[in-house]
Chain A
Amino acid sequence: MNLFSLFITSFIVNNIIFSQFLGICPFLGVSKKIETAAGMGIAVIFVIVLSSIITYIVQAAILVPLGLEYLQTIVFILIIAALVQFVEMFLKKSSPGLYKALGIYLPLITTNCAVLGAVLINIQNEYNFIEALVNSIATPAGFLLAIVLFAGVREKVDTADVPVALKGSPIALIAAGLMSIAFLGFSGLQI
């Protein structure tokens, strides 16, 4: 598969949030301000790229030779959780600036389904290493796009005159639904 079309497919057409409905929890939870939404999005890119590299190696080097592909889910969860912890500690020591920017978001994505989803998709679609890498950059980039757009919408909604019964989460969910429908427009896109 053409790497560019793979990127666009994962980035927009099969957007992790609006088409696959993974990672909805941080999408709704950390989208009140554009600034924090962007922080969350970048942390997700960071974690997904790292974890898909590690899980790809584990899959290829350990699980496949031993015929233990069915352990994927549990092994990947274990690895992702440990990896995020490790990265958090490493950043705290080596790069306090980056830690301050990402630090509070990292633990939030430890067990996020978007991360697990992205690495499992890599395996399911039988991507080679380069393809997996592209997919694991494009997928969280789609997450970043979605969460920043949504945060922008929510910031506008905050100042709008919303009926009392819809204030807060209800209007946020309606906005998310409308954005999801808008993204459906990309579904026929062929590159």
Chain B
Amino acid sequence: MIIISAVGVLGGIGIICGVLLAIASKLFHVDVDQKIIDVRNALPGANCGGCGFPGCDGLAAAIAEGNAPVNACPVSNQEGYEKIAAIMGVTAQVGEKQVAKVMCKGCDSLATKKYDYEGFTDCKAAAAVAGGNKSCDKGCLGFGTCVNACAFDAIIIEDGIAKIDRDKCTSCGKCIEVCPKAVIEFVPYSQDVIVECHNKDFGKAVKEICKVGCIACKICEKNCAFDAIHVENNIAKIDYDKCTQCMVCTEKCPTRAISGDLKKRKKAVIIEDKCIGCTICAKKCPTNAIEGELKKVHKVDAAKCIGCGVCASKCPKKAIEM
């Protein structure tokens, strides 16, 4: 008998609570701004906090109220921004996506080591012992602290240094935070030409410890036709706004510290029907790769062309394709 009353009481209270809550949820229903719901649905829902708001819901509310730009989510992509922009009735002003990049090429075969480290496989632990086992005190230690920090599986350790998959990177910045060597930086997504070195020593001091370090020789600076690369504090720095990715510096760098895939180098092609022979492109070409007389169709010397795109941007008739 007592068991029946116990079950009855507990079940009864449960049912009453349930029914009351169901009624209350109808009765006290508050209309949430449809915009917030729509924006929330257009966000990726990773709740990573990369935007600085408490999760995707917080950001959705902020965007809907106009307190955050439509592209405030670092994880979303162009498509997502456009969706949110459409909901908000504005056009998306999208800056280029930034991705994290490990500024070190000093893999095990190219960089020397100070000592054999046999402690925890953790960069912070290794860095606590005389600044890590790499001879270069600015280099990637390769114990994978960033790999563990990355929530998106974008980082792998290859041959003793970390490599970031730029397609998987969401620019949440967690790896940058945890790296004890501060060797990870944000670079624009489409940027291939990057000085992958942080060592601020000069010449021989770098060469002795790493075969691919920047030795501050300034050859890149002298060869850049766009004033986009400068050696400051014994390290070459690229101004990504000015860089046209012509890869001249990549070619000229004696230690190959500047990355860039020469196979991917673009070539200018003149569309003959559109060219009016104004010679503007020939004048602007930094390598004199374009020839042609006034009012005649011009030609590009593919061997000289460095694919900088200056001609294409200057052509008044849009007659040059990259």
Docked-complex contact A82 and B9, CB < 8 angstroms: no
- B16-24, B215-223, B292-300: which one contacts chain A? B16-24
Q: How far is the CA of A74 from the CA of B25 in the complex (A)?
A: 24
Assuming A78-B17, A82-B17, is B6 touching A68 (CB within 8 A)?
A: yes
Interface check A93, CB cutoff 8 A: yes
Interface check A75, CB cutoff 8 A: yes
On B, residues with C-beta under 8 Å from A are 2, 5-6, 9-10, 13-14, 17-18, 20-21, 24-25, 27-30
Docked-complex contact A71 and B28, CB < 8 angstroms: no
Q: How far is the CA of A90 from the CA of B23 in the complex (A)?
A: 11
Instruction: Return chain B residues, CB-CB under 8 Å to A167.
Output: none
15 contacts between A and B (CB under 8 A): A66-B5, A68-B6, A71-B6, A71-B10, A75-B9, A75-B10, A78-B14, A78-B17, A85-B21, A85-B24, A89-B25, A93-B27, A93-B28, A93-B29, A93-B30
Docked-complex contact A67 and B2, CB < 8 angstroms: yes
Docked-complex contact A75 and B13, CB < 8 angstroms: yes
User: Besides the contacts A75-B13, A78-B14, A90-B28, what 4 more A-B pairs have beta carbons closer than 8 Å?
Assistant: A63-B9, A68-B6, A78-B13, A86-B20
Instruction: Return chain A residues, CB-CB under 8 Å to B9.
Output: 62-63, 66, 68, 71, 75
Q: How far is the CA of A85 from the CA of B30 in the complex (A)?
A: 14
Interface check A153, CB cutoff 8 A: no
On A, residues with C-beta under 8 Å from B are 58, 62-63, 66-68, 71, 74-75, 78-79, 82, 85-86, 89-90, 92-94
Top 10 A-B residue pairs of the complex, sorted by shortest distance between their CB atoms: A82-B17, A93-B28, A89-B28, A89-B24, A92-B30, A66-B5, A86-B24, A68-B6, A93-B30, A85-B21
Taking the closest CB of chain A, its distance from the CB of B180, in whole angstroms, is 12
Instruction: Return chain A residues, CB-CB under 8 Å to B20.
Output: 82, 86
Assuming A66-B5, A67-B2, A71-B6, is B24 touching A90 (CB within 8 A)?
A: yes
Q: Which of B2, B13, B28, B29 contacts A79 (CB 8 A)?
A: B13
Q: How far is the CA of A145 from the CA of B231 in the complex (A)?
A: 58
Instruction: Return chain A residues, CB-CB under 8 Å to B10.
Output: 71, 74-75, 78
Taking the closest CB of chain B, its distance from the CB of A71, in whole angstroms, is 6
Docked-complex contact B13 and A92, CB < 8 angstroms: no
Instruction: Return chain A residues, CB-CB under 8 Å to B6.
Output: 68, 71
Taking the closest CB of chain B, its distance from the CB of A23, in whole angstroms, is 23
Instruction: Return chain B residues, CB-CB under 8 Å to A79.
Output: 13, 17
Taking the closest CB of chain A, its distance from the CB of B254, in whole angstroms, is 41
Q: Which of B5, B24, B25, B28 contacts A68 (CB 8 A)?
A: B5
Taking the closest CB of chain A, its distance from the CB of B112, in whole angstroms, is 29
Q: How far is the CA of A86 from the CA of B278 in the complex (A)?
A: 77
Taking the closest CB of chain B, its distance from the CB of A151, in whole angstroms, is 19
Q: How far is the CA of A141 from the CA of B13 in the complex (A)?
A: 29
Q: Please name the residue on chain B nearest to A94 by beta carbon.
A: B28
Q: How far is the CA of A63 from the CA of B10 in the complex (A)?
A: 10
Instruction: Return chain A residues, CB-CB under 8 Å to B29.
Output: 93
Instruction: Return chain B residues, CB-CB under 8 Å to A85.
Output: 21, 24
Instruction: Return chain B residues, CB-CB under 8 Å to A67.
Output: 2
Instruction: Return chain B residues, CB-CB under 8 Å to A74.
Output: 10
Q: How far is the CA of A131 from the CA of B28 in the complex (A)?
A: 33
Choose among B20, B24, B27, B29 the residue with the greatest number of A CB atoms under 10 Å from its CB: B24
Instruction: Return chain B residues, CB-CB under 8 Å to A93.
Output: 27-30
